[in-house]
Amino acid sequence: MGAAALTLDGLGVDFSGFKAVSNVSTVIEEGELRVLLGANGAGKTTLMDLVSGRTRATEGRVFLFEKDITNREEFVIARSGLGRKFQIPSVFKDLSVRRNLLVASCPSRGVFSNLRFGFPAASRNRVEEVLELIGLADDAQETAANLSHGQTQWLELGLLIVQNPKVLLLDEPTAGMTAAETQKTARIINALRGRHTLVVVEHDMAFVREIAERITVLHLGQIIAEGDIAHIENHPQVKEAYLGSGGIH
């Protein structure tokens, strides 16, 4: 086993008596692709909020490798090597696809100084790699405002990848996508496997089948099962809580 990239130790949050997430403990290894599965209201996004610093935990700890990041500011956690992609993409609409990636590749300097003074060769080379990876090399000069929904999602994923985070949290990356776009997203995520540690929040079961290595199932804010897809689809508690008797489709 490799090093632990992300360790959740009894993590939880109580909102005025309502435990949205309770006593969640799991270890995600460096380079692992973990799928976080659960019905709406299971606590998946809240758990990601706790990890990324968007919501303050009322119990437990979060470790990014050896560093305790529990309840640290979001920007501190991001600088420590954790990147997060939300369901609604956020890109620079007026810039080209390539320009978006160039700006994101130099997080230590201001956006306008980057645009004015140019970008280092290492950043430009990294951007070309990421353009290929996210399948937007042919659209590099296109203004981001003109992209399709799927392309915008891939660009935002690229904005995170180009910053080279150690751990990447993806919150329902296929939301609103066509079947073809979902397939392409699966290929992109599989290409990231091993380069980054990935935690993917998802409920599209066809997509989960394409990417899943290890799955953690949440129900009412607690982990009820963890394992590979065969273990999960045959788990009686998971069937009862979420999947139904038909298993994962």
What are the sequence ranges of the domains in the chain?
Answer: 1-81+166-249, 89-164
CA distance 37 to 141: 37
Lowest mean pLDDT among 2-6, 80-84, 96-100: 2-6
Which pLDDT does position 194 carry in this prediction? 86
Which pLDDT does position 109 carry in this prediction? 52
Q: Are 36 and 232 in contact (CB under 8 A)?
A: no
Lowest mean pLDDT among 55-64, 105-114, 122-131, 180-189: 105-114
pTM (whole model) above 0.85: yes
One-letter amino acid at 35 equals V
Which pLDDT does position 86 carry in this prediction? 76
For 84, list phi and psi in degrees, rounded to 5: -135, 135
Span 1-81+166-249: which CATH code?
3.40.50.300
Overall average pLDDT of the 2-16 stretch: 94
Pairwise pLDDT comparison (246 vs 64), residue with the higher score: 64
Helix/strand/coil percent split, the chain, to 5:
40, 25, 35
**pLDDT tens figures, 90-112:** 899 999 999 999 988 875 555 55
Q: Which of 160, 170, 165 is nearest to 48 (CA)?
A: 170
Which pLDDT does position 1 carry in this prediction? 53
Banded pLDDT at 245 (limits 50, 70, 90): very low
Q: Are 215 and 229 in contact (CB under 8 A)?
A: yes
Neighbours of 210 (CB within 10 A): 16
Overall average pLDDT of the 146-165 stretch: 94
pLDDT exceeding 70 applies to what percent of the chain?
Answer: 90
* Alpha-helical segments (H) within the chain: 44-52, 74-79, 97-105, 111-117, 121-133, 149-161, 179-192, 205-211, 229-233, 236-238
Which pLDDT does position 114 carry in this prediction? 52
Which pLDDT does position 9 carry in this prediction? 98
Burial code (b: 16+ CB inside 10 Å, e: under 16) for 82-116 equals bbbbbeebebbeebbbbbbbbbbbbeeeeeeebee
CA distance 20 to 94: 38
Overall average pLDDT of the 110-122 stretch: 61
CA distance 225 to 216: 6
Contacts of 32 (CB under 8 A, 6+ apart): 2, 5, 197, 198, 213, 214
Which pLDDT does position 120 carry in this prediction? 73
Banded pLDDT at 16 (limits 50, 70, 90): very high
pLDDT exceeding 90 applies to what percent of the chain?
Answer: 71
Structure tokens at 208: 């989960």
Which pLDDT does position 40 carry in this prediction? 83
Parallel, antiparallel or unpaired: strands 4-15 and 18-29: antiparallel
